[in-house]
Structure 1
Amino acid sequence: MENNKNNVSHYPVYKGLKKPFVFKGYKGKFIYYAAGGLILSLVIGAIGTSFNIILGLGMMILGVAATIYFVGHFQKTRGLFNKSKDSKTLWVHQNRIKKIINK
């Protein structure tokens, strides 16, 4: 039998740029949180204006301000990659994929 060491090719795995998407200071998943909060504020403001225009505008401004505050606060305190740690699970990751060439 031949030595299989010469028949193994190594290919690097592309892992992306390792940088989160940033838009107006919000990173990654917080962009979606901010967009959802702003859309929800607009919907609540539109419903509020059907009753009273001042009430609707006040609710919309309050919702936008709360969204900006809470999303910014969560981005600073919880972080982008906040994950729960499970000490009972062992994860094995390889940096390279091995391809065995059969001749």
Structure 2
Amino acid sequence: MNITRVAKTERLSRVVVHEKVAYFSGLTADDKSQDTIGQTEQILAKADAFLEKIGSNRALILSATIWLRDIEDFDAMNSAWTAWIDKDEPPARATVQAVLGLPDIRVEIQFTVALP
């Protein structure tokens, strides 16, 4: 069995690749003082870096789960999301309001990605 783990810590791997599918951990912004758009843009930039590292791309994102601290931020998050996604190959997606791990986290996104 071939499993690759990317950016491992003692608690988790940021990405786990198994049989041409990559599973991302929930990604959050590094600068949590940013608003919802700023945090979403930071998360998507992180996703781009991981996509590049594993040799994949936005068109191969299979699904995304998005957690928002406040569902009222749905439109703000969507403005960054819509500008970022592959318009021809959008992923399946769910967005929910949730209590997140730290009070200054506004957005968390988890991806499942195919590899070419």
Query: Could you tell me the TM-score, scaled by structure 1's length?
Result: 0.27
Rg larger in 1 or in 2?
Answer: 1
Greater share of residues in strand: 2
Greater share of residues in helix: 1
Ranked by relative contact order (alpha carbons within 8 Å, sequence separation 6 or more), the top structure is 1
